[in-house]
Structure 1
Amino acid sequence: MAEAFLGIVISAMATGLGAIPVLFLNNVSPRLKSLLLGYASGIMVAATTFSLIPESLKSSNIWVLSIGMLLGTFVLNYIHSKTEDLDTSDFKFLSGVDRKTLVIITAITLHNLPEGLSVGVSYGTGVDNLGAIIAFAIGLQNAPEGFLVGLYLIHQKMSKMKAFMIATFTGAVEIITAAIGYFLAAEVAGLVPYGLSFAAGAMLFVIYKELIPESQEDHQVKFPTYSFILGLISMLYLTIHFG
């Protein structure tokens, strides 16, 4: 149990680890932001396409995957529509954060819940090394997500430490669902494929609707495009060699 707890916490806290660079960023120029968003988008597309979707299909079928992805897309689209006129000044901790950043924070937090469940169930099954492998794979995905959240928040002139804390929180929620998955592995294992496909749909919505368009806002399309491809290759390399 100690090994499972350690793996769960490390996997969840990888989001905070990925957010550490924001503590050292000062001014993020529009061009640098475009390059970073392109790179993060590539990483997340690779993580979704070569990790979340295959893992869901491995223990289910195309129908489960389709339902989960469409549900994830629908939920994020609903959140997006409901936050268009939201005044974040009503929320002290998120005061000054624009709608786009709020949607991304919400999406990544929701996206992490089923990932935590999959880590917990993997440890709870008792299959040798399965939990460690899944925890490592999820941790690899969490790091760039933490950096992305932190990047958006400091671009909103939020303090570096506050941005780091919020980014870390978006991953820390995995600990809760991982604990549920671990102790109720037999009962909730069937939900994992739905959860992973939901996470895939949610993340693809954010990539398509927010990240890629914003990476090209300054009309410098060429370099963010190369950055996107480099991000995809980077994550694909890590997935093949470590996932």
Structure 2
Amino acid sequence: MNITDTFISFHPVLQALIAGLFTWGCTIVGSSFVFLFKTVNRKFLDTMNGFAAGVMIAASFWSLLAPSISFAEQNDYGSWSWFPAAIGFLVGGLFLRLIDVIIPHLHLNEPIENSEGPKTKASKNLLLFLAITIHNIPEGLSVGVAFGAAAIGAANGDAFMSAVGLALGIGIQNIPEGSALSMPIRAAGSSRWRAFNIGQLSAIVEPIAAVIGAITVISITALLPYALSFAAGAMIFVTVEELIPESQTNGNKDSATLALMVGFVIMMILDVALG
């Protein structure tokens, strides 16, 4: 039995956990760049933010919204097959907006005076950490929901490989994401180890959220189309509210936009080729 067959034989919650650990591991790899470089290249970070945005946009449609609609079509929603996707998508965005309001955080490249959420005396590093952690939650949820969908045969027979492609795509974009957090913290004067730990720990929520997502859809199958589109809405909110603006405000618009398109195409290829 090869590695793929072994992985397929695992319980879907364990599959989701392993996939979540993989995406976290990719963040660890990206955060480790802080041991190789002391200063951050702004053009590199903007380009990688654009790439991450492209991956998340493509994943939201190909791996989440399309399966949500397909599942609804197969389960007697009829002409209302759009309904779970629409409702879940909007609720996902509203959920991230609520998290933005109740959790203090600070986006990259912003002075601490521009922190969002409740007023706090927390350090700038902690606020940056919280900002990245917030947007890692929907990534973990999307992976868990995708493996849960595969377990109950949702959308199509290739749902398992589609979930694998989603995990790979999110993992790939987590590498530059880890460096995008750890390297500015290092450049601001923190030690390499401190910058590394803050960067990699920002993604510890991904395996946790992945397990929650898988358990939820396996336990309550009727929630599946809503859960898929919820994850998509949350990811799109993060992409539009954070990744795209951050990639476009430092004079690197062209490279960031091209990187977004490349990220979109790579995620699309992963999903279609594997799914």
Of 93, 97, 118, which residue of structure 1 is paired with 2:126?
A: 97
2:10 is matched with which residue: 3, 10, 33? 3
Identify unmatched segments of 5+ residues in structure 1.
none
Q: Secondary structure at the match of 1:219?
A: coil
Judging changes above 3 Å, is the alpha-carbon distance between structure 1 residues 138 and 225 closer, same or farther for their aligned structure 2 residues? closer
| 1:224 aligned to which of 222, 237, 256 | 256
Q: CA shift at 1:230, angstroms?
A: 1.1
Q: Does 1:233 align with 2:233?
A: no
Of 27, 34, 57, 2:69 maps to 57
User: Cα RMSD over matched residues?
Assistant: 3.0
What is the percentage of aligned positions where both structures have the same residue? Answer: 25
Q: How far off its partner does 1:88 sit?
A: 6.4
Letter in 1 for 2:125: G
**Residue in structure 2 matched with residue 123 of structure 1 by the alignment:** 151
SS in 2 for 1:59: helix
For the residue of structure 1 that corresponds to 2:249, the secondary structure is coil
Are residues 76 and 211 of structure 1, via their aligned partners in 2, closer, same or farther at CA, if it must alter by over 3 Å? same
With the length of structure 2 as denominator, give the TM-score of the two structures. Answer: 0.73
Alignment of 1:128-207 (within 5 A): 132-144=160-172, 146-147=174-175, 149-154=177-182, 155-157=184-186, 158-167=194-203, 169-177=204-212, 180-181=215-216, 185=218, 187-207=219-239
How far did residue 236 of structure 1 move?
Answer: 1.4
**Secondary structure of 1:119's partner?**
helix
Match of 1:23 in 2: 32
Partner secondary structure for residue 66 of structure 1: helix
SS in 2 for 1:218: coil
Change (3 A) 1:138 1:239: closer
Number of equivalences: 235
Matches within 5 A, 1:78-97: 78-82=98-102, 83=104, 84-86=116-118, 90=122, 96-97=125-126
| Higher helix proportion (structure 1 or 2) | 1
- Residue identity matched to 1:160: F
